[in-house]
Amino acid sequence: MGYSRNLDLITIDDFKEILVNRYLIPSMRVLLSDIDRRFDLLVQHNIINVEDLYQQTKTKKKVAHLVEVTGIDIDYMIVLRRLVSSYIAKPRKLNEYPDIDIVLCKKLEEMNIKTSKILYEYLESEDREQILSTLAIDSKQLKCLEALMEVTRLRYVSPLFATVLVRSGYDSIEKIAAGDSKLLHEAILTTNKEQHIYKGNVGDSDAQFLIDDAVVFMKYR
């Protein structure tokens, strides 16, 4: 399984359904305006899935071209581009995870493993016993690494927020997808209040966003 979700599997119709039926952050809700007509225009111009949409909106020049050929207004397309880009899981620096200690970070760096993406791919591809031996860690530490790299693949999940999720018991995308937004929200707040992992708070809507994103990730992994 790759670090990011497979955008080829998400058809434009599927994507439209996700936007209509899943939680959208306020800045993205403009995408619901006249969505049927605008998405039909994308399909008419051979954009069949979200990977096509990502490839055709990767640069400002490509966005401008798509605006020209479809007639979809530029403001709408810029927001759509921002949303699509968020579906590409961001590589995170390993030294930003509190539960990856300095010694282990240095060992990983010596192996040219410096980001969450590279570490995730390493953990997925190598034999478990070999990993334990190479990194000189125990099974508990390995499980923690695996969990952190797993939940980091969700949208907008930073190293600190991944740490809160894992310490709260939500240590896999599957568990988050099956979660209740109220219980998840309470668990995040309680863990962060007790352990002071990051500044600020999350709201009920943030927890629902996380669950919805995990559901979509599970479906298109």
**pLDDT of the chain, 221 residues: tens digit per residue:** 689 889 999 999 999 999 999 989 899 999 999 999 999 999 999 999 999 999 999 999 999 999 999 999 999 999 999 999 999 999 999 999 999 999 999 999 999 999 999 999 999 999 999 999 999 999 999 999 999 999 999 999 999 999 999 999 999 999 999 999 999 999 999 999 999 999 888 888 999 999 999 999 999 87
End-to-end C-alpha distance for the chain, whole angstroms:
7
Token pair for 124 = 């997925």
- Give the other-Cβ count within 10 Å of 85's Cβ: 12
- Give the other-Cβ count within 10 Å of 207's Cβ: 23
Distance between CA atoms of residues 204 and 175, nearest Å:
17
CA distances from 130 to 126, 139, 150 (A): 7, 12, 20
- pTM score of the predicted model: 0.93
